[in-house]
Structure 1
Amino acid sequence: MTPDRLFITFEGIDGSGKSTQAQLLDVALRAEGVETILTREPGGSPGAEEIRTLVLQGDPDRWSAETEILLFTAARRDHLERTILPALAAGKTVICDRFADSTRMYQGMSRGDLRALVDELHRLMIGREPDLTLLIDMDPEQGLHRAKARQTVEERFEDFGPALQAQMRQGFLALAEEFPQRIHVIDGNRTQDAVAADILRIVKAAPV
């Protein structure tokens, strides 16, 4: 069975391979006749892409955690209105590289206990969770090495260093325990093909 009208998100630490796996899933589902849209956060709509530049570039201490939460929520709202909801309404499956779980981790936990603030803003302004979240679990040091090897200008969070990576990994795993029906943990320390096969199996088994 192939999924229609599903909202699927990929999560994980930087360098976990989630962006690649999101692309591979998009190709695999399209090959089976599923109409999909592949998108990302922050970004995915013109306004959200402008905010992406603000939050992913520059000095690590450019914004406070509270300001980041507001910026990410604003980007997500625009993304939801202009990309995600219209695609779902048209019967497409949406595959998104990061969503609210990343904000719960990176802004809600990295520099203080702000998870309640993230969740309240999400309730007020977003009000939508994914149908299925694929969390790619990766060794933090290996993930950071892979992320830095990309050598892009969007390295603000990588520049926080390995301690943040390790903290975020544990946070994501705890989040999977909090939402076991939605979040599936996948071992990312394997070959790309092995990870992709697991992901496709899980997606095909998802309720339609």
Structure 2
Amino acid sequence: MGGELSKSRKLNNGIVAAVCLAFFTGMVGMAYAAVPLYKMFCQVTGYGGTTQRAEKQYAGRVLDRDITIRFDANTNGIPWQFEPVARSVTIKIGETTQAHYSATNKFDRPITGRASFNVQPEMAGAYFNKVECFCFTDTTLKPGETLDMPVVFYVDPDIVNVPELKDLKTITLSYTMFPVEKKQPVASSAPAAGSSTNKVSDTEASLGG
């Protein structure tokens, strides 16, 4: 009798453990899936000031109405001087325009950077379309190298049909540049004989991390 009870308890414990493991695995999977889904949601809706990506230059109507685009630049943990060439530009709504940012690597070794971005007010993100942008890819600068970084964009004329945005006069386009760690080749990942195994990444070491 005692043996059967023990077996029953073990079976129940095993079922509970399996259910908990399946639940945990499912939650982790949902967390990973939520990142690209959230990004897609932001790109489609402009939520959080996320801009849109246009496949080609706008060829529709251009309104006889001005709007000023202000440019903002920030850095986060990257030893670059990063700034807009011009602080603002005034364009027609629907007009395709090119603006420029500039980045200079102030460090003594190559550094790869990536730009995150948004616009203010956030609702305008759904109508701010980028045709070309340095933020679409990572950028590597050599020590002391300066790079011109263009962005081609337009403001969708449908923005005037939104009650909250119909009288909008200014949109601020903001970028934050941060470092991207480059993975080391697998063949060189093993420590040499006699060397310490307590290593930090090249990016952390070079930036004082």
Give the TM-score, by structure 1 length. Answer: 0.24
Q: Greater share of strand residues, 1 or 2?
A: 2
Q: State the structure with bigger RCO (CA 8 A, min sep 6), 1 or 2.
A: 1
Larger Rg: 2
Q: Greater share of helix residues, 1 or 2?
A: 1
